[in-house]
Amino acid sequence: MTETINDKIVQILNNRKTHEEVMSALRAFVEKLRKEGETKEAILARMQELRSAVSDEQEDILLEIMDFLVGWCSPHAKIE
């Protein structure tokens, strides 16, 4: 069975690493998706769907990555 983008995001969030390591891994995955042509809107929609299905800490990570996508962050942290 093919792993979906949502499955991969959940897999990254469930990894038993530190907050920073999970953030870094999810950011790298989202940057990869963008380079492959996935739209910001599609990524944001997937993350929005997942927010209610994850823990509070995992939701915080999703929200931080979503902020990077929409530009609610320092210019150097923005994901294009």
Helix axes 56-70, 40-51, angle to 10 degrees: 160
Q: Measure the CA–CA gap between 51 and 2, rounded to whole angstroms.
A: 22
1: pLDDT confidence band, cut at 50, 70 and 90? Answer: very low
Single pTM value for the model: 0.89
**Which sequence spans correspond to the domains of the chain?**
5-72
Model pLDDT for residues 45-63, shown as the tens digit of each residue: 999 999 999 999 999 999 9
**Residue 2's pLDDT band (cuts 50, 70, 90):** low
Per residue, the 3-state secondary structure of 26-61, as one string, reads HHHHHHHHHHCCCCHHHHHHHHHHHHCCCCHHHHHH
pLDDT in tens, 21-31: 999 999 999 99
Tokens of 18: 């530190």
Tokens of 32: 């990869």
